[in-house]
Amino acid sequence: MQFRGTRHEAERKAIAEDYSQTVERLIRGGGWGEMPAPEDQLPDRWMPEAFFEYWAGRQATP
Amino acid sequence: MSSTPPCRVVQVMAFRGDRSRPRAAAFQRALDDERNGHGPGPSPIECLLFAGHAGVTTNGGAAIYGFNPDGGGLPVWQLLDRLKNGDAFPAVVRDDAFAFATAQKHGLPVLSFEVILPEPRFQEVGGALDAERRNSQYSYGFPNGDGDCNCITWLERLGLPLLTGRMDEFIGLTGWTAAPSRRFGRCV
């Protein structure tokens, strides 16, 4: 939600990095049982690849 | 003869989406397939069952009107991606009773509460709803994006009070800390 509050690339990058760390922590925790609502997700290009690997078994792009 | 107007009832309804691991994985795969040209993508009903939905009825649920984005033929993955980015889309108000019935059939709790209004206020809400059904004056967007509202905040645009007035309820809203600033519509 905070992500949509800015169009500045640098600010979005910082928010995406923070989001990525949260995703990694949830995956490491092992009990992540519910995907965030669409409005709580980032656009695909800003999402960490680990998110898609975890939720859809998508293979990481080389 | 009493001058007190009669009470009329508007029902607000909502269900939370099912994003449990198997459902979410299937939904994400459908988006991926659509993106890669391997499948049609999730259906409109599948999107609502995943995301959750809110609506309003004045006839006991025979018709439940909800506020939806009109992607104008965009693939679902692209529509979702642009909404996540903060883009606004034209909106369409449609009878989503089937989506609510399907949610219930899938075991998702469908919540509702009654908003009881004096007849003149009910007519105002009904008039706003009719106008919205013909042609919505609002754009659709995810919270804090460029759109005017989503299916939840659209209910407020109809003039429906969503809070009871209890201070404990108001103070207990998680948005005080989770979203201390919120934008409704495009501005600079």
Residue with tokens 């998508």: A58
Nearest to B144 among A5, A35, A56 (CB): A5
Q: B185 lies in a domain?
A: no
Smallest CA–CA distance, residue B16 to chain A, in Å, is: 9
Helix or strand run (H / E) with residue B112: strand B110-118
In chain B (188 residues long), the average pLDDT of successive 10-residue segments reads 90 98 95 95 97 97 98 97 98 98 98 98 97 98 97 97 97 94 91
Check residue A61 and report its DSSP letter.
P
SS3 of residue B169 by DSSP? helix
Whether residue A56 has pLDDT greater than 90: no
pTM for this predicted structure: 0.94
Size of interface A-B (CB pairs under 8 A): 70
Q: B88 lies in a domain?
A: yes
pLDDT given at position A61: 56
Q: A18 lies in a domain?
A: yes
CA distance B47 to B80: 10
CB spacing of B143 vs A1 below 8 angstroms:
yes
Helix or strand run (H / E) with residue B113: strand B110-118
Contact of A51 with chain B, judged by CB distance below 8 Å, is answered with: no
Q: B183 lies in a domain?
A: no
Q: Which domain holds residue B118?
A: 7-178
Q: How many domains does chain A have?
A: 1
Q: B56 lies in a domain?
A: yes
Q: A62 lies in a domain?
A: no
What are the residues facing B68 on neighbouring strands? B92
Here the tokens at position B141 are 């967007």
Q: Which domain holds residue A13?
A: 3-56
